[in-house]
Structure 1
Amino acid sequence: MGEEMLEETLANHRILSKIKPSVKLFNYIGDAPRIIASAGKQTLSPKEFSEIYGKMNKDKTMKWITELIRRGHGSPLEHSIYIFEITCSRVASHQLVRHRIASYTQLSQRYNDKYLRNMIMLAATKLGYENIEKNNIGEYMKILEETIDSSLSFWDMLEIIGEAFIVPPKIVKSNNREFLKQLLRSVKTYYSLINNGISYEDARFILPQAVKTRILVSMNARELLESFLPLRMCSHAQWEIRYIAWQLWRQLVKIHPEIFSYAGPRCVYMENRVRQQPCKLDEYINGKCEFIITRCPELVPREGIRKCINYASKDLWNSMGDEIIDT
């Protein structure tokens, strides 16, 4: 690969990172696995929790958590908390808050249009503007109109859009400029309404659901293991929240492999409930563990489950293909 092509590829990957959702694990109880294992043992032991906890070493922790997962004994898993921040579209945030055993704090769209302003500033730079006057709504509209009518490349347009919107993988794959222009037109209409005296809280109704938002989420290990990850890591989940779930799982398994190595889509959750000994997600993916269930909850037959999981784990923005699973 030539140097120029390499630079272009790296630039495109940088742009793709802007139009995708992101997840950042912010905080958690560091000793959660030991606490969970001790809580599990406490249900069977007459000893005080402090004594059980004091004698709970790493090997015993792994043994007890594995047993909790195998038996479906979920209440000890609730003695944990994981706090993470997600940047996503309003489409994904609406799905996210359906998980009720969690706490949410979301960026207000009534008072904050920072993402949109950042997009306009980048568009102005691409068009050669200098010294953009802050809060000049008329100038914002002019910049947006020029961007819509410009001959900027698809990737330049995508980079601009990525400041404020999540863009579906298929739109990127098809180089759909009209989709990007429609997003820009919606923002122009938004500022036109504001310029004509409409309040921010009313003007926002015109914005597409693709607009970015930030949301702080707190979940315990039980909600993650039994609900969020099984539902949202599945290949049948919507692509954006599926990407979020896999990114979150990759961060969780690094800090607490004792718990989250066994997490996965619903097929993995279902399989681990019927096996004599549960298997880790990686063991299913690499073939070290074979599925014994005849089909997954989404009716994918046993022989197609591994392929289905591999598809679900893909970053569709980077792989740009394989949209249809042949199971």
Structure 2
Amino acid sequence: MPRETDTLPDIQVQWTESGIPSEESIIDAAAAGMVSRKDEPYESFVKDLSLSRAKEFLTKMIEYGHESVLEHITFQFWVSMSRVASHQQVRHRMASYTQMSLRKKRSLTTDDFVVPPQIKSEDLGEWIADSKQVIDTYEKWLAKGYEVDVARRKLTQEARTDMVMTINARSLRNYFNLRAKHDADFEINAVAKRMYQLICEEGLGFLFEDIGFE
């Protein structure tokens, strides 16, 4: 099970059990970068490489634009979002995803539908009622004896989906550069910012602090 963290409204982002890069992986990434710069045996410079020195080295590599070494650092998140936002999420193909399937029969409630924060309080009841109507329609076609593959086509894009996302630090920088901007879809923008918050809480924000989060 994912470890619990605070959540954004209607959007959930958590670390998986092994999702946080270890100190050793940070040191290994820096050592990998040093391989291309030092004419000496690997053991001679990696044995005394501290975490603080590794962070300094990786920060310099980012400044120089030599980001390939960041591919040795891997993050893994559990994300819950709407299916419409998930379609944009999985476009970042330099990552690995395992996503909840809607081909299995599910008992749905209105909590399984993401409510956009833009919905005004006076319209919230109507929005939720529309979601309930979608659920009723889905269940009606199941009750008629149709397979889930048929009935699920009545579900709307706001239906919630869960996924596990594994991504290396270099690709995550690209993800943040595209999705942490004000013109990104509001939901995936919130997911990106929550990921960055979790990363900073683990002392790994130095890998992304040059990116302007909006």
Amino acid at match of 1:52: F
- How big is each residue's C-alpha offset from its partner over 1:278-305, in whole Å with a ceiling of 9 and x where there is no partner? xxxxxxxxxxxxxxxxxxxxxxxxxxxx
- Counterpart residue number, 2:38: 45
Amino acid at match of 1:189: T
Distance in 1 separating the partners of 2:188 and 2:68: 26
Distance in 2 separating the partners of 1:97 and 1:216: 11
Kindly tell me: are residues 261 and 195 of structure 1, through their superposed partners in 2, closer, same or farther at Cα, counting changes over 3 Å? same
1:46 Cα offset (Å): 1.6
The 5 A counterparts of 1:258-277 are: 259-262=206-209, 264=211, 268=212
Amino acid at match of 1:88: M
Higher RCO (Cα < 8 Å, 6 or more apart): 2
Indicate the SS of the match to 1:169: coil
1:222 Cα offset (Å): 0.5
- Counterpart residue number, 1:320: none
The answer to whether 1:194 aligns with 2:142 is yes
Distance in 1 separating the partners of 2:25 and 2:210: 16
Equivalent residues of 2:199, 2:205 under 8 A apart: no
- Counterpart residue number, 2:77: 84
**Correspondence for 2:162 among 204, 214, 218:** 214
**TM-score, normalised via structure 1 length:** 0.59
Indicate the structure with greater helix content.
Answer: 1
**Correspondence for 1:25 among 12, 15, 35:** 15
1:23 Cα offset (Å): 0.5
Amino acid at match of 1:29: P
Indicate the structure with greater strand content.
Answer: 2
Kindly tell me: are residues 107 and 81 of structure 1, through their superposed partners in 2, closer, same or farther at Cα, counting changes over 3 Å? same
- Counterpart residue number, 1:73: 66
Equivalent residues of 2:180, 2:193 under 8 A apart: yes
Equivalent residues of 2:75, 2:167 under 8 A apart: yes
The 5 A counterparts of 1:256-295 are: 256-257=203-204, 259-262=206-209, 264=211, 268=212
Q: What stretches of structure 1 of length at least 5 have no aligned partner?
A: 1-16, 120-160, 269-308, 313-327
- How big is each residue's C-alpha offset from its partner over 1:107-134, in whole Å with a ceiling of 9 and x where there is no partner? 11001414x1xx2xxxxxxxxxxxxxxx
- How big is each residue's C-alpha offset from its partner over 1:23-69, in whole Å with a ceiling of 9 and x where there is no partner? 01112330222122112222110223333321211332122111111
Equivalent residues of 2:97, 2:164 under 8 A apart: yes
- Counterpart residue number, 1:104: 97
Q: What stretches of structure 2 of length at least 5 have no aligned partner?
A: 1-6
- Counterpart residue number, 2:128: 180
Indicate the SS of the match to 1:99: coil
Distance in 1 separating the partners of 2:121 and 2:44: 58
Counting aligned pairs with the same residue, the percent is: 27
The answer to whether 1:113 aligns with 2:103 is no
Indicate the SS of the match to 2:182: coil
1:263 Cα offset (Å): 5.0
Give the number of equivalent residue pairs. 205
Amino acid at match of 2:25: A
The 5 A counterparts of 1:150-165 are: 161=110, 163-165=111-113
**TM-score, normalised via structure 2 length:** 0.88
